[in-house]
Chains A and B, each alone.
Chain A
């Protein structure tokens, strides 16, 4: 079974620029998650999708972050404009459905904002 694919692997941008991350979950997985992991910390949930609908985005900084999953498969996460404190690894994960045993994570996109 193919894993969760994320791109790009690394990204360096200047503050106030915009950036987008892409995620392709495991085929058939209805639930998709975006997490932000700052160096030395545990992942923090940004947004959870069930198919193409948002289940929870309470921790998404909506003034600068946006995410979509238009056809219920791939998803993109965008930051506009980026701040220095957005430097982190952005992890995408998917599961068969809510409450399924264990998530499958992608390798993440490491973002550095300078």
Chain B
């Protein structure tokens, strides 16, 4: 079963615009991570936010976490065509630190 659910499932924007993706989950977590996957490739780790953190930045990425609402968002600012990919949230949960992925958001950035 999938813990996280991303919204929207697909997003199409123009280069230079900001892209926001949301993730909701169901159970308590140790941390939440975001990954990017280019077509036909493996996943690349983008950013990790711990359960006691509320916001984190990395370059053009901004992640927020609201544990009371069991939700997270990923903001990509000033998007580029190279940002075109699928983005997945993944929750690290339990004593075994299992990572459970959502269904992903497919982002297309048009040049």
A41 touches B45 (CB 8 A): no
Q: Is B43 an interface residue, CB under 8 A from the partner?
A: yes
Once A and B bind, how many residue pairs between them come within 8 Å at the CB atom? 52
User: Which of the four size classes fits the interface of chain B?
Assistant: 20 to 34
A107 touches B41 (CB 8 A): yes
- Given known A42-B104, A91-B42, A91-B43, contact A103–B2 (CB-CB < 8 A): no
- Given known A91-B42, A105-B43, A108-B42, contact A42–B101 (CB-CB < 8 A): yes
From B4, B92, B98, B103, A56 is in contact (CB under 8 Å) with: B98
How distant is the Cα of A111 from the Cα of B48 in the complex, in angstroms? 30
Interfacial residues, chain B to chain A (CB-CB below 8 A)? 2, 4, 30-31, 33, 35, 40-45, 48, 88, 92, 96-104
The 8 closest A-B pairs by CB, nearest first: A102-B45, A42-B101, A105-B42, A99-B97, A98-B97, A105-B43, A107-B42, A43-B101
